[in-house]
Structure 1
Amino acid sequence: MDALRGIAVAGMVAYHFMWDLNFFGLSSVDVTRGAWRVVARAGAAIFLLLVGVSLNLAASRRPSPAYERQWRARGLKLWGWALLISVVTRQALGEWFVLFGILHLIGTALLLAPLLWRWRHLSAVLGAAMIAGGQVARHIPVSGPWLVPLGLAPAGYQTVDYFPVLPWLGVVVAGLYLGQRLDLVGRWLAAHGRAPLLLVASPPVWLRPACSMGRHSLAIYLLHQPLLLAGFWICGYSIW
């Protein structure tokens, strides 16, 4: 899981680097479509699936009050960072600021996690319904920004980071379903004397950098863009 998370983070950093190159006129590659858009969406989907899988792991390793406190604390922490990002990007980017980005979404998912866990037997249906609902919501016209977090955005809405509840919370819920299935497979293997190798073996040397990135994904997410922009600023390019 750490390795997959690290690979997703590496893809995010590469995508944002290319976005910056395009923004400063140093590259003509349109990262909002084609292969780079696939990289961005696939990385986000992997990351959010792993959030759902992690919810299942947390609930299976700790008693009920403990994991619910953990989810609440982490959700509030992420929302604190998310609000800071909103404030900073509002000052730096104006109308393109991050109103509801991926940190807002993950913070929301963690705050809703106790409810999602109680409904875990419906996670396959609920996740599919949310993903489908997102495809419907994007075509519903609205006049203001108040429903942007739900996935209902006014025509022409532009932002540098947008992961609304519909459909993206559905990906987290799909990860919760996947985590339950993996848990059943692990139990079956253990019952038949076959330890699930991927859960107990140390990662090979070549995979350890990705594992390290995965374990520090929040710090990388918060710091990578300021560091990239600082590098461009040193080279004479600034967003102001």
Structure 2
Amino acid sequence: MPTCNLQHHSPRYLELDMLRGIAVLLMIVYHALFDLEYFFDIAVPGGLDAWTMLSRITATLFLLTVGIVSAISWEHTPSERRWPKSLRRAALLLAAGMAVSLATRIAIPHAPVYFGILHLIGLSALLQPMFHPLGAWNALAGIVALSIPTTAGSWSTLPFGFPPSGLASVDYYPLLPWFGIVLIGMAAGHALYVPSRHWLLHICTYIQYPHWLLWCGRHALFLYFVHQPVLLGMLTLVRAVWRAR
């Protein structure tokens, strides 16, 4: 497994690529079901609401790996480069989130994305440096974040988990409670990968992971953007062929 220069690069752990790859696969499955029901008016088994848990599991996997990788990156990045790196990452992800908001405003005008998973990860990148000193104690902070009750609020408090009453959005992941999952991931990263991989995880080096799933995990952001146009194109083609029979 390539590790590169640890002063400037974080080591690559295949099990984390695998987790992200699984999350990407689950995301594609859920969005395929969503597309069938929303854009093609084809009822999915049990109704789309019955599959909501799948989207929550997907988000949890993504956010856990975000936290774990953040802890690893923080450990292996020189101190003078940590904040600039976090700011660049936050800017990229928040810009990507804004692009998603714009696209869904056009495609799904009655329930666009105001603060989705990319907005959350981008804002998390700004907050994480302040929590890294807690190390494994971030697990406690994460539990607290998950336990804070949320109520209706206003547009200004929407990112924090207090949305305006009656908010309609196909993808809403506010800081509360979801930043708690990131914090728990950070705790796991500090406990299991800092300063090096815990000996209990060495078994991961002997597992043969599917290369295509590792590739998906390494290119999760790219796939996040391209999978929906590809899905819609494929489903449109299948419908056209079916109707032409």
Fold-level similarity (TM above 0.5):
yes
Code of the aligned partner of 2:202: P
The answer to whether the 8 A contact 2:72-2:194 is kept is: no
1:214 aligns with 2:225: no
Q: CA separation in 1, counterparts of 2:171 and 2:156?
A: 17
The answer to whether the 8 A contact 2:64-2:184 is kept is: yes
Aligned residues: 222
SS in 1 for 2:61: helix
1:26 aligns with 2:42: yes
State the partner residue of 1:159.
169
Code of the aligned partner of 2:59: A
The answer to whether the 8 A contact 2:22-2:217 is kept is: yes
1:183 aligns with 2:193: yes
Between stretches 216-225 and 155-164, larger displacement belongs to 155-164
SS in 2 for 1:26: coil
Q: In angstroms, what is the RMSD of aligned CA positions?
A: 2.2
Q: 1:4 aligns with which of 10, 16, 19?
A: 19
Give the direction of change, closer, same or farther, for the CA distance of 1:46–1:188 in structure 2 (3 Å limit): closer
Q: 2:152 aligns with which of 136, 141, 157?
A: 141
Give the gaps of 5 or more residues in structure 2.
Answer: 1-15, 241-245
Give the direction of change, closer, same or farther, for the CA distance of 1:90–1:188 in structure 2 (3 Å limit): closer
Q: Report the Cα offset of residue 94 of structure 1.
A: 1.4
1:105 aligns with 2:107: no
Q: CA separation in 2, counterparts of 1:18 and 1:173?
A: 30
Q: 1:230 aligns with which of 207, 212, 233?
A: 233
Code of the aligned partner of 2:147: A
1:33-57 per-residue CA deviation (whole Å, 9 max, x = no partner) reads 2xx2222111110110010000111
Alignment of 1:58-207 (within 5 A): 58-120=73-135, 122-133=137-148, 136-137=149-150, 140-142=151-153, 144-183=154-193, 189=199, 196-198=202-204, 201=205, 204=208, 207=210
Q: CA separation in 1, counterparts of 2:70 and 2:201?
A: 22
Q: Report the Cα offset of residue 99 of structure 1.
A: 0.3
SS in 1 for 2:188: helix
Percent identity of equivalent pairs:
32
The answer to whether the 8 A contact 1:141-1:154 is kept is: yes
Give the direction of change, closer, same or farther, for the CA distance of 1:97–1:73 in structure 2 (3 Å limit): same
Give the direction of change, closer, same or farther, for the CA distance of 1:28–1:184 in structure 2 (3 Å limit): closer
The 4+ residue runs of structure 1 with deviation greater than 6 A are none
SS in 2 for 1:147: helix
Q: CA separation in 2, counterparts of 1:64 and 1:116?
A: 15
Code of the aligned partner of 1:154: P
The answer to whether the 8 A contact 1:3-1:208 is kept is: no
Q: CA separation in 2, counterparts of 1:37 and 1:177?
A: 27
The answer to whether the 8 A contact 2:135-2:191 is kept is: no
The answer to whether the 8 A contact 1:7-1:210 is kept is: yes
TM-score, scaled relative to structure 1: 0.84
